[in-house]
Chains A and B, each alone.
Chain A
Amino acid sequence: MRTTRTSLIPVHAALLAIFLLGSNGPIHATELRGTGDLGLVVERATGSLTAVDTTRRVVLGKIPGLGDLSHASLVYSPDERYAYVFGRDGALTKLDVLERRIVKRVEQAHNSVGGAISQDGRLIATSNYDPGGVRVFSAETLDKVADIKAEYGKGQLAKVVGLVDAPGQKFVFSLFEAGEIWVADLRDPGNPKVDKFKAGKEPYDALISPEGRYYIAGLFGEDGLALLDLWNPDRGVRKIVPEYAKDDPKLPVFKMPHLEGRALIGDYWFLPAVGHHEMLVIDRREWKVARKIPLDGQPVFVIPRPDERQIWVNYALPDNDKLTVIDTRDLKVIKQLQPGKAVLHMEFTPKGEAVWVSARDDDRVIVYDTETFQELARLPAEKPSGIFFTARAHRLGL
């Protein structure tokens, strides 16, 4: 107790000094602020993250030392103070968003593709290719609490994709080689209860609907999607829209679509079609294709503006310099943008007045006004890929 008291004096002196000097460094306790308008941009080639302020549209600083961040993603703690970063090299890193420093880092697997945070924010799950499976960690300490091996057939391990959190302290994920969907109940964290479902050939990614009811896995090895109704798991997985691609041959797929855009608007789901220059509109009352919207390339992300009036689409090679905006009232293309080379991701501000877009090969992030499509800002970032705003903290499956 006594030591704590005496050590406070130099700390105060240091903070005061920083305050007086007008530091550009990490935000200190002298500058009280929230985190609700902050975000992180993945810089895949340098293994760093750039922290941004979405109100002032500025870069706050860089957090280096995160390893191989190709295909990296991250989730936020419920208080939006901490981020958990999932690196391709299997590292799990806990970051302090305010202080912009690494709190803890563990090498949890050899090859990893993403992760999720539990409904209550206490558990972090990683989606691993090698060794294939899901590992679960304490969000507080990053100590491992469970290891769910994705075993199938004669004891082989499948790569795990499409890992999301679901209500009831569950994690749901897909096994690429095994063609299965697993639902793991972590209410007793050290003793996960796993339900397994046959899904179809090569699920490559998945999404959970925003309310947490439907888990939908895209299938690479066959046409259609695998749907699991988490309110009625006893009904098993249902194959939906298998007919959508019967007539026209599939094009080569130069980049796998991502499904987590979750464009569910009224009774319609908007999804990227694999190997086709189109977006599918699925009527969820019958789970049938209601319409196909022709596009200028193979869509990767299909993301609704938060108010659902627009859908934004980016593309796989060779059309990955474009963005298309669709008006959801009549499903017409209302705008084409060319933000730069290799447009990898976009993230809307929580209420959707602006969208942030990463142009990997131009080393920049561009911010657009979503009403006027005017460029609002242009920020430097090294080979930026995923953009993640803290508002994700309060949404299931993100």
Chain B
Amino acid sequence: MRYGLFPVLALLPLALAADQPSPQRQEALIQFLKQDCGSCHGMTLQGGLGPALLPEALAAKSDDVLITTILKGRPGTAMPPWDSFLSRDEAAWLVAQLRAGLKSHTP
């Protein structure tokens, strides 16, 4: 999945391509998702103290809502704002990965 993106990226104007995290950063983001988001949402994202983040569970929610939730948290719940760790582009990239399903990243 991740690697499939490269040929497409090569055709895009540079400015657009810059919105994608670098391959190293993508790897770090996936680790972050599994390990750190995973401490509440479960390492396989099937839920824990926080809700499941599987594609079906997110289907009804817009990208914007999800990106904002990641960056700003959900006041009144245990979900903290992650904007000190993630840029908006990175949060958007993570949302795309969540929609595709984390399984595409298991080695």
Contacts and interface: CB of A to CB of B under 8 A. Distances in A.
A134 B44 CA distance: 23
Contacts of B84: 252, 318
B19 to A, nearest CB: 24
Interface residues of B, number: 21
B55 to A, nearest CB: 18
B89 interface: no
Contacts of A176: 49
B102 to A, nearest CB: 12
Interface residues of A, number: 30
A167 B85 CA distance: 44
Contact of A159 (B38, B49, B73, B81): B49
A361 interface: yes
A70 interface: yes
Interface stretch (B4-12, B28-36, B61-69, B92-100): B28-36
Nearest to A205: B49
B42 A318 contact: no
A130 interface: yes
A129 B52 CA distance: 12
Nearest to A251: B80
Contacts of A254: 36, 80, 82
Contacts of A130: 47
A71 B44 CA distance: 12
A113 B49 CA distance: 9
Interface string A16-33: 000000000000000000
Interface string B33-61: 01110111011101111000000000000
Contacts of B39: 70-71, 255-256
Nearest to A113: B48
A383 B36 CA distance: 12
Given A159-B49, A220-B78, A342 B35 contact: yes
Contact of B78 (A44, A70, A110, A256): A256
Given A68-B42, A204-B78, A254-B80, A317 B47 contact: no
Nearest to A202: B78
A253 B79 CA distance: 8
B85 A71 contact: no
Contacts of A44: 35, 43
Contact of B49 (A110, A204, A317, A360): A204
Contact of A383 (B35, B44, B48): B35
Interface in A337-395: 342, 360-361, 383
B78 A253 contact: yes
A45 B44 CA distance: 10
A111 interface: yes
Contacts of A383: 35
Contacts of A204: 49, 78
Contacts of B80: 252-254
Contact of A68 (B35, B40, B43, B78): B43
Interface string A50-75: 00000000000000000011110000
A88 interface: yes
Contacts of A161: 49
Given A88-B42, A111-B42, A361-B31, A252 B73 contact: yes
Contact of A361 (B35, B43, B46): B35
B43 to A, nearest CB: 3
Interface string A247-270: 000001111100000000000000
Contact of B85 (A68, A89, A318): A318
> Max chain B CB contacts within 10 Å: which of A129, A161, A252?
A252
Given A360-B35, A361-B35, A70 B42 contact: yes
Contacts of B43: 44-45, 68-70, 88
A253 B78 CA distance: 8
6 smallest beta-carbon distances between A and B, as pairs:
A70-B43, A252-B80, A70-B38, A252-B81, A68-B44, A253-B80
28 contacts: A44-B35, A44-B43, A45-B43, A68-B43, A68-B46, A70-B42, A70-B43, A70-B48, A88-B44, A110-B46, A111-B47, A113-B49, A129-B48, A129-B49, A176-B49, A202-B78, A252-B80, A252-B84, A253-B78, A254-B82, A255-B36, A256-B39, A256-B40, A256-B78, A318-B85, A342-B35, A360-B35, A383-B35
Interface of A: 44-45, 68-71, 88-89, 110-111, 113, 129-130, 159, 161, 176, 202, 204, 220, 252-256, 317-318, 342, 360-361, 383
